[in-house]
Amino acid sequence: MEKYVLHFAEIDKTHLPNVGGKGANLGEMTKVGLPIPDGFCVSTSAYRTFIESSTEMEELFNQLVKVRADDLDEIRRLGQRIRNHLKSLTISDSIKSSIIEAWITIGQEKSYAVRSSATAEDLPNASFAGQQDTYLNIRGQEELLQAIQNCWASLFTDRAISYRTKNGFDHRSVFLSVVVQEMVNPDVSGIMFTADPITGHRETLSIDASFGLGEALVSGVVSADLYHVRESEIIKKQISEKKIAIFSKPEGGTVTEELPPDKQGEQALKDDEIIRLAEIGKAIEAHYGSEQDIEWCLVDGEFHIVQSRPITSLYPLPEKKDDRLHAYVSVSHAQMMTDVMKPLASSLWKTLFPFGKETVASECPYVQEIGGRIYIDLTNVLYLKESRILYTFLMKAMDEKMANALSNLVQRDEFMKDAQSNPAIKRGAIKLLSPVGTKVMKNVLFANPEKAAREADQTLDRFVKEAKEQLSGFSSTDRIRKIQDSVGTLFLSILPKLFPYFVSGMVANKLLRMLSNWWLGDDQDVKLLQKSLPGNVTSEMGLKVGDLADIVREHPELFKYLETAEDETFYQGMDRLNGGHAFREEFEDFMDNYGMRCSGEIDITKPRWHEAPTQLVPSILTHVRSVAPGQHRKKFKQGQLEADKAAERLIQRAKELSDGWWKARIIKRLVSVSRHLMGMREHHKYVLVHYMDQYRQALLEGGRRLVEENRLQQTEDMYYFSLHDLLSIMHGNFEGDIDSIIQERKEAYSHYAKLTPPRILTSDGESVTAVLSDIHAPEGALIGTPASAGNVEGIARVVLKPEESNLQEGEILIAPFTDPGWTPLFQSAKALVMEIGGTMTHGSVVAREYGIPAVVGIDGATQKIKNGQRIRVNAEEGYVQIIEGDHSE
């Protein structure tokens, strides 16, 4: 028979099913000799026996299974009913006697803290902390039994039910133990994190401290002191005004008291105490082998630990092979897709980068998958002054916050003190970039821009043709080898042949802005030159979506068909509808050119439009509802006219200057280069996605073969392996249990999906941040980077996935990021707000082409702005104001 009560000295980490996460940790720390107040755990066996005594709980569990995580009213009603029911039950005599016996052993006269400890609590990938109730300074037998029963009932608080429902935990499978721990009356108490919970820096230990019980700090009624310790030195002290504290009452319970004025500003812990506590924290971290969130208290000069749990919110550490401080830059941010990726997608990107590899098919040693996102280690490159300047300049166009964070990092002594000269890097960079620079200079100064644009289009067409032919005629095994070789050479194939055209347009535009400001006093007309750029394959795709919408608009029956269409039967019966044949012809032509795209297209595991055509339906129907017939073409044409007039004004204004004849010639030349070549920005991405689609189809075929051979259970399981792994599986020499590895990687994927990836990450785990300080904005405004000029007000529409959008006419699109898969929505948006991005990222460029205001780089925009709120987008200064709103969905 399972024991109803276990003393701390009987417990270790193996007892988690019996005493939950909190209880197991307290027992584990007691056994290794850490200063833990004595106590015992009422086991999950007691909880199960208690629950089984109810005749109603089975039906209540059935109701819990049906409730939705966002149905707060139903959760509130059902939670209250369950809690009241459990508090009305009688605890069995056998459970009571076990509890009373343990209580007498430790001391009847003592006070106790009674806390819940769930079996799913304090796990590495989930934290249930704070969801159940805590009862402090409990004295006496009846009060103790009542507190334990209340803890059992608190497993069904509203927040606990919602959390379990949202994260897929079975309510029946989460059991509750109750920790009964001797109460100490601290002079000071608080929380210690053995890694900085804000920046993630693993070598920075963070301590919050306040007078009295820690409940004041946890409940947020007092501002605590903040101390940072690194390498046994205090590197930061932030002393807060601590007006109140919570203390134990002799008769039981707690009382909140105002501190004397001279005590309120006093440092809660002395410096030597801070260092001593930090040493205890590091010892606990070393024991568990992971960063810890620790509750502590100080009594008569001695520290006591009352809890320790893993910190679950830290972003994973990069791998490194030396003791230098390394800098990792997010490729995911640069590519405007920060969603978590599976191992196969990460493997492709690591193979794509050609630097430092042993063979073409190898993975780049400078590229890492960290937390399910792709990062590149630029440490050695950033040691070179020229590279620092170049990368900061390029990043400023991609994401201003990323550029500022990088500038912040490279100016630190701790980063530059290990700088090592590597002439090979400089030689490699010159070899790689010299042909690009030469081509750019030729395009800007001499080449015919129209001819250069035609060359770019011809090069694009040639790449697309090669992509479709490259993998034909190979077996599954040979195809994976061919994919590795193809991916490994793709970067150096595309970069010198396509990138110079866009860079030429960007350089010409940059020179135009500089000369316009210098000669003419402003650059307003230069900004208008980016409207309706010719040759942009992504903008042309958006116009084609508008053409499809115009067909649908004229045929209500076709509209209804698309509302309920499914991928497997998408084309079936379409020809029998009015307008169906015309739509199908136009749609199939669209798929021939753009079917390899999708939202998040840099992730090879994502289904393409040609595989799942219903992904496009919301954008088409949104266009029907919110844009007038033919308006998208008219608007694009209007943008061309505005750009042409802006060009004429620039040239005319230059002519009117002294020495105007040659200034006008320079302006005219740069206008032509800018207009003809800026639209080539999307060419290299368009080619890359064509190749990725071909790789995907070949890999899917190989995956299906592995299923047929019973090596995988389902085709999608292959997403959890690298290209090299898949090759080994096909050859039959893969080491490890395939099913176990898949399950482990699926769990890691689910955990990573909940994390927010940093733009710049160090090898110490620090998320390097930087603020945008030169923006003039009202108090409370959300600050970002202005990316497409204009000032508008409108209703916010938060869209996390374009295939799930419900954008209405005149609404402002709020998105985490946008890649070409989002372009179909742009025609319907009044303005654009994004969490990541810079002036030259996809969303910004297309917004300027379409003439809609855009502000990018607003962290947390999709959480801070709610559907239905009225907001003001000031894309001149770069901020968003929330004016009012009903937060409707």
Active site residues: 842
d(CA 442, CA 455): 14
How far separated are the first and last CA of the chain, in Å rounded?
Answer: 52
> What's the token pair of residue 258?
């105002």
Q: Which residues pair with 208 in a beta bridge?
A: 191, 226
Coil, strand or helix at 800? coil
For the beta carbon of residue 473, count every other beta carbon within 10 angstroms: 9
d(CA 165, CA 70): 9
Q: Which residues contact 811 (CB under 8 A, 6 or more apart)?
A: 626, 794, 795, 796, 797, 828, 829, 830
Are the C-beta atoms of 13 and 24 separated by less than 8 Å?
Answer: yes
d(CA 853, CA 675): 20
> What's the token pair of residue 586?
């136009």
> What's the token pair of residue 173?
């499978």
Q: Which residues contact 617 (CB under 8 A, 6 or more apart)?
A: 562, 563, 565, 803
HEC-encoded secondary structure of 690-740 = HHHHHHHHHHHHHHHHHHHCCCCCCHHHHHHCCHHHHHHHHHCCCCCCHHH
| 464: exposed, middle or buried (Cβ count in 10 Å: 0-12, 13-18, 19+) | middle
Are the C-beta atoms of 415 and 325 separated by less than 8 Å?
Answer: yes
d(CA 785, CA 861): 13
d(CA 842, CA 788): 12
Residue 855's closest CA among 829, 830, 875, 827? 875
Please write down the long-range contacts of 246-251, taking CB distance under 8 Å and 24 or more positions apart: 246/212, 246/213, 246/215, 246/216, 246/221, 247/185, 247/212, 247/213, 248/111, 248/136, 248/137, 248/183, 248/185, 248/213, 249/137, 251/139
Q: Which residue has the tokens 């374009």?
A: 802
Strand bridging mode 367-370 / 791-798? unpaired
For the beta carbon of residue 491, count every other beta carbon within 10 angstroms: 18
Strands of the sheet containing 785-788, edge to edge, are 782-783, 879-885, 869-874, 791-798, 811-815, 831-834, 854-856, 785-788
Q: In 234-265, which positions are buried (b, 16+ CB within 10 angstroms) versus exposed (e)?
A: eeeeeebebeebbbbeeeeebeeeebeeeebe
Are the C-beta atoms of 680 and 453 separated by less than 8 Å?
Answer: yes
d(CA 436, CA 426): 15
Q: Which residues contact 519 (CB under 8 A, 6 or more apart)?
A: 654, 657, 663
Are the C-beta atoms of 855 and 841 separated by less than 8 Å?
Answer: no
d(CA 860, CA 591): 34
Q: Per-residue DSSP letters for 142-210? A: HHHHHHHHHHHHGGG-HHHHHHHHHTT--GGG--EEEEEEE----SEEEEEESS-TTT--TT-EEEEEE
C-alpha pair distances (Å), 495 with each of 85, 94, 310, 351, 684: 68, 75, 44, 16, 8
